[in-house]
Amino acid sequence: MRKTRLRTHLIGITLSIFIVTNLVSCDQNSLKDKDHLVFRYNEYKNITSLDPAFTRILPNIWATNQIFNGLVQLDDSLNVKPDIAKSWNISEEGLVYKFKLRQDVFFHESIVFKSKKRRKVIASDFVYSLNRLKDPKTASPGGWVLQNVKSLESVNDSLLKFTLKKPFPAFLGLLSMRYCSVIPHEAIEEYGEDFRSNPVGTGPFTFKRWEENVKLVFRKNPNYHETDIEGKALPYLEAIAISFVPDIQSEFMLFIQGKTDLLNSLDNSYKDELVSARRSLTK
């Protein structure tokens, strides 16, 4: 009985890997010699939405972080730094925040913009996006982020103004949350609730396709606004490929075989495969 169960389990693992490998190959055929520029990982817990208003769980956050931007972001030391806002000032009493926006940020090319194909981000886009968080019809779990905001207005296309109910020094940090991403109203008008699987953002990668429970693919945004410290355009990668093999054993095998580049979950029973008794990597 135990042998039969083991054989059945191994067949299931092999089949899962076969399906994912073939899907990866199909997407990478279009990339030809750029396979080394495709970042691949498995999300065994799955992704439920690509709408930033519903980034309550980590898998959603990781995915939407590639598609969207907000006013500010956190660096690798968790310090707040500019994103779409190139600068800001805070009133002496800590109640009024004014953000000056960059003028070189555009939404991804999309049919929602009709003949224009893409559109520049302006202050009123943030007003729309953040008010949408608080709208009961949206039912976003992120509405609490703005509970201390008394008013929000676009002074002009490049200036956004928040007035708080009371001083709150952590407010800037809250604005770095993926909930506070900017989205175009045209996309919500076009897709409604289906925006969850038809995202249009400003991020380093654009949405390519999503076969739920199987595969999600992002492609490089050639018009992305950020550069590295040497002025080289970001991102460096050509694509991100996310698989959804639900079994941790299968996920581990994909990683060991070099079919994924990140292992974001590891059962204790597999640690000896990767780490020796001397605590050094074995692979």
Cα–Cα distance measured from residue 32 to residue 113, given in angstroms and rounded to the nearest whole number? 30
Mean pLDDT of the region 182-186: 98
Residue 1 has pLDDT above 50, yes or no: no
Q: In sequence order, which residues have a C-beta less than 8 Å from that of residue 263 and are 6 or more positions away?
A: 251, 252, 255
Using pLDDT thresholds of 50, 70 and 90, give the confidence band for residue 14. very low
Mean pLDDT of the region 84-95: 97
Using pLDDT thresholds of 50, 70 and 90, give the confidence band for residue 11. very low
pLDDT of residue 10: 36
Residue 269 has pLDDT above 70, yes or no: no
Residue 68 has pLDDT above 60, yes or no: yes
Lowest mean per-residue pLDDT among 33-37, 147-151, 243-247 = 33-37
Domains of the chain: 16-46+213-283 (3.40.190), 52-61+70-194 (3.90.76.10)
pLDDT of residue 19: 40
What's the pLDDT tens digit per position in 152-173?
A: 999 999 999 999 999 999 999 9
pLDDT of residue 4: 35
Using pLDDT thresholds of 50, 70 and 90, give the confidence band for residue 202. very high
The model carries a pTM of 0.83
pLDDT of residue 228: 93
Mean pLDDT score across all residues of the chain? 87
